[in-house]
Structure 1
Amino acid sequence: MVSNTDEDELWNLVGFLRISSTRYKTLEALVTEYLIPSDIVKRTNLKPAQVSLALHDLKEKKLIKCMNEKAKKGRIYHATSLGKESFKMVNDYLMNDKNDP
């Protein structure tokens, strides 16, 4: 069961993702795969600078994790459990929004 504080934080993260399609697309790419930034750019059609900023923002909120933090190049990123849960909530929110008249 999710506590009220945890639920409030999750909804804050849903809003954080909803207001930025760049963050949403970046997280979407990382929910099921381990990717380097150039792969994210290819899959999302975002610019490298956009992906870089999104990775920074998502990492700061603990929605993604860098798997090889000490690497200078070829850093590999993946969604955390919190990131996956937040992403699922965003999609559920979007589906409910589409079903409302």
Structure 2
Amino acid sequence: MDEIEEGLIEKVSFVKLSKHRTKILKILKKKIMMPSEIRKKDNLSYTHLSRYLNSLKEKGLIICLNEQSKKGRYYKITPEGEKVIEFMEELDK
């Protein structure tokens, strides 16, 4: 990555500060999922998972595809979230 977009480093830092945020983004990079499915892969309580999902959503790294639903919400990584993961992978090389 030659050019670093404004704010990308801040978002990378935000994600890297939490192993759970990192893992959730990596999980969502592979496919769209519900919190119950994410929880099985990361073994978090629903309360903690909800906090992580909300913080990632506030940063524009993930979106909820059916926000109006009380149950069965689906989450997807955004293009910005994919850039964050790609940049983190570059840093780890």
TM-score normalised to structure 2 length: 0.90
What percentage of aligned pairs have identical amino acids? Answer: 36
Q: CA RMSD in A?
A: 1.6
Whole-angstrom CA distance in 1 between matches of 2:91 and 2:58: 23
Name 2:21's counterpart in structure 1.
Answer: 23
Name 2:50's counterpart in structure 1.
Answer: 52
State the shift of 1:3 in Å: 6.9
Whole-angstrom CA distance in 1 between matches of 2:3 and 2:85: 19
Q: How many residues align?
A: 92
Name 1:94's counterpart in structure 2.
Answer: 92
Whole-angstrom CA distance in 2 between matches of 1:17 and 1:90: 9
- Structure number with higher helix proportion: 1
Q: Which amino acid aligns with 2:90?
A: D
Name 1:74's counterpart in structure 2.
Answer: 72
* Residue-by-residue CA offset, 1:14-42 (whole Å, 9 max, x unaligned): 10011011111111111121100010000
Gaps of 5+ in 1: 96-101
TM-score normalised to structure 1 length: 0.83
Gaps of 5+ in 2: none
Whole-angstrom CA distance in 1 between matches of 2:24 and 2:51: 10
Written as runs of structure 1 = structure 2, the 5 A alignment for 1:25-40 is: 25-40=23-38
1:65 to 59, 63, 71: 63
Name 2:41's counterpart in structure 1.
Answer: 43
* Residue-by-residue CA offset, 1:46-78 (whole Å, 9 max, x unaligned): 222221111000000010010011101010001
Aligned partners of 1:22 and 1:50 also within 8 Å? no
